[in-house]
Amino acid sequence: MTGEVAISTDKLTKRFGDFVAANEITFDVKKGEIFGFLGANGAGKTTAMRMLCGLSIPSSGQATVAGFDVYRQTEEIKKNIGYMSQKFSLYEDLTVWENIRFFAGIYGVPRSEIAPRAKEKLRQLGLYHQRNQLVASLPLGWKQKLSFSVAVFHQPEIVFLDEPTGGVDPVTRRQFWDLIYEASDQGITIFVTTHYMDEAEYCHRISMMVDGYIKALDTPTALKQNYGAESMDEVFFELARGAQRKGD
């Protein structure tokens, strides 16, 4: 990990009418870091993430992603990030191979590089023999892993993962995290939201969002110490207890 900053926000705020979904959130994410973004349903995680991806314009505050401004340089940001949403979102009626080709294509990966890189990726995932199968026929865990590979296929600087392991069994989740570590080792910054507190432990640093505010931000070890907790679960309960917003 170098000292370079991948994402930097300063009092970033998003209002929907009277409702403040994200309230003056301020944090820095270092290059190559795995940054966990935690919070209950409705705490504002997805809103914050969408602002950083250029999907949503902030109401106020500042932020840069990969060095680009979220107001004026969304096109530049889009070229330098990868994104995986909470909903599984590859084309089920296309094959594994076709999905990779398609997404690599629209991200402008040169044609000559797509095939060798895709081959290597699929071998690593153990999906090479299924490359001509329709994605619809794969088990959910494999779909998620494939989704992740597609999100980092164009070698972005930062990849945003919005609750990537929802509905996946613990073993597959562990394997999924292996992929995340691998990407992090290659210098890709990981910005991940999650509900699972065991996953929070895998992150280098985590922030806890409650009612649109960032209530805590530190390494998992430091957070546990500060709150005198045995596990991240306890830290989370301690922080989320005072939440006004109910989950959606």
Partner 1 sequence: MKQLFIFIKKEFKHVFRDQKTLLLLFGLPIAQILLFGFALTNEIKDSRIVVADYAGDGASQQLIERFRQNDSFVLEQSLLGADDIDEVFKQGIVKLAVVFPEQFEKSLIHEGKAQVQLIADATDPNTATTLTNYAQAIMRDFQVSYLGTASNLQIEVVTRNFYNPELRGTTNFVPGVMALVLLLVCVLMTSVSIVREKELGTMEILLVSPFNPLMVILAKAVPYLILSIINLTVILLLSVFLLDMPINGSIPLLFAVSTLLIMTALSLGLLISNSTNSQQEAMLISLMGMLLPTMMFTGFIFPIENMPVPLQVLSNIIPSKWYYIIVKDVMIKGLGFAAIWKETLILFGMTLFLLVVSIRKFKTRLA
92 interacts with partner 1 by CB under 8 A: yes
Closer residue to partner 1, CB minimum distance, 1 or 57: 57
* Alpha carbon of residue 215 to chain centroid: 20
Q: How far is the CB of 26 from partner 1 (least distance, A)?
A: 21
Residue span 16-35 as binding mask against partner 1, x where in contact by CB under 8 A, dash where not: x-------------------
Tell the smallest beta-carbon distance from residue 124 to partner 1 (Å): 22
105 sits near partner 1 (criterion: CB under 8 A) = yes
**In the set 39, 42, 44, 54, which binds partner 1 (CB under 8 A)?**
54
Under the criterion CB under 8 A, does residue 98 sit at the interface with partner 1? yes
Q: Does 15 bind partner 1 (CB under 8 A)?
A: no
| Single residue of 90, 127, 168, 210 touching partner 1 by CB under 8 A | 90
**Contact between residue 80 and residue 66 where contact means Cβ atoms under 8 Å apart:** yes
Binding segment toward partner 1, per CB under 8 A, in 52-60, 202-210, 216-224, 230-238: 52-60
**Minimum separation from the CB atom of position 50 to partner 1 (A):** 6
Q: What is the nearest approach in angstroms of partner 1 to the Cβ of residue 228? A: 39
Question: Rounded to an integer, what distance in angstroms lies between the CA atom of residue 225 and that of residue 234?
Answer: 11
- The answer to the question of residue 103 lying near partner 1 (CB under 8 A) is yes
Compute, in degrees rounded to 10, the torsion defined by CA atoms 226, 11, 47, 177. -40
From 104, 100, 78, 77, select the one nearest 90 (Cα to Cα). 100
- Give me 106's structure tokens: 């629209």
Report, in Å, the least distance between residue 92 CB and partner 1.
8
Among 3, 19, 72, 87, binds partner 1 (CB under 8 A): 87
What is the residue type of 234? E
Q: Report the alpha-carbon distance of residue 239 to residue 237 in Å, rounded.
A: 5
142 vs 82, 113, 169, CA distance in Å? 19, 23, 11
Strands (E), the chain: 5-16, 19-30, 34-39, 60-65, 68-69, 81-84, 158-162, 189-194, 205-210, 213-218
Q: Which range, of 102-110, 201-209, 218-226, 237-245, touches partner 1 by CB under 8 A? A: 102-110
3-state secondary structure at position 182 = helix
Q: Judge whether 210 and 193 are in contact, CB under 8 Å.
A: no
Q: Which of 53, 158, 183, 188 binds partner 1 (CB under 8 A)?
A: 53
Applying CB under 8 A, the residues found at the interface with partner 1 are 14, 16, 47, 50, 53-57, 75, 78-79, 81, 83, 85, 87-94, 98, 101-103, 105-108, 160
